[in-house]
Amino acid sequence: MKLRKQIADVLAQRKPSTINDRGLVQAAVLLPLFDKNREPHLLFTKRTLTVATHKGQISFPGGARDEEDQSLQFTALRETYEEVGVRSGDVEVLGRLDDITTYSSNFVVSPFVAAIPYPYQFNICKAETEYVLEVPISALLDRSCFTEDAIVRNGVVDPAYFYQYQGNLIWGATARILTQFLDSVFVRNAERPPAII
């Protein structure tokens, strides 16, 4: 079974939990999957130090919902085009993950998993994106790149996840979304996942 279908099937069987809190800003991100050298990868961005929030962090492309956005999926696609130049017509949305909240910036983030073609001529918005990071899923599944901790906020203990890849640290909301995706679709320390294509 091709990975694309496997992911779509897994996500179709889940009912993603949504968070409706008027005190939080709605946002959406895209988890762009692609096949590079016959191995599935995820695309991340390194945010610049000039953006309003989450400066310098590794993240998935995405951002806040605009009033005119028809849906949160539209937001994720629009923001991905604005940040890295991936056209919505080149994106196959495979499904949605559970909403998560950010701890410091008061966002509720809706993550969408998608397949994109590769190689691709990314067109990076220099004001928002310092560079793109192409990470093999096999590296993210390797326990040696992953650590877990706990953070106490207002008396509540929350898990905190950290991924290291080639000197880049993936943490915070992005790491929580990534962990949700990997735990939903893969078994850690499994054999190399099949290629998307």
> Pick from 158, 56, 46: which is nearest to 101 by CA?
158
Q: Using CB atoms within 10 A of its CB, is residue 189 exposed (0-12), middle (13-18) or buried (19+)?
A: exposed
Average pLDDT of 68-87? Answer: 98
Is 158 a member of any domain? no
Distance, CA of 163 to CA of 148 (rounded, Å): 9
Is 154 a member of any domain? no
pLDDT at 1: 47
CATH number of the domain encompassing residue 131: 3.90.79.10
Is 92 a member of any domain? yes
Per-residue pLDDT tens digits for 94-139: 999 999 998 778 899 999 999 999 999 999 999 999 999 999 999 9
Average pLDDT of 7-36? Answer: 94
Is 33 a member of any domain? yes
Question: What's the total number of domains in the chain?
Answer: 1
Domain residue limits at 128: 3-137
Is 68 a member of any domain? yes
Is 183 a member of any domain? no
Per-residue pLDDT tens digits for 171-191: 999 999 999 999 999 866 555
Give the full edge-to-edge strand order of the sheet including 168-170: 146-153, 156-165, 168-170
Q: Using CB atoms within 10 A of its CB, is residue 108 exposed (0-12), middle (13-18) or buried (19+)?
A: buried
Whole-model pTM: value is 0.92
Neighbours of 99 (CB within 10 A): 22
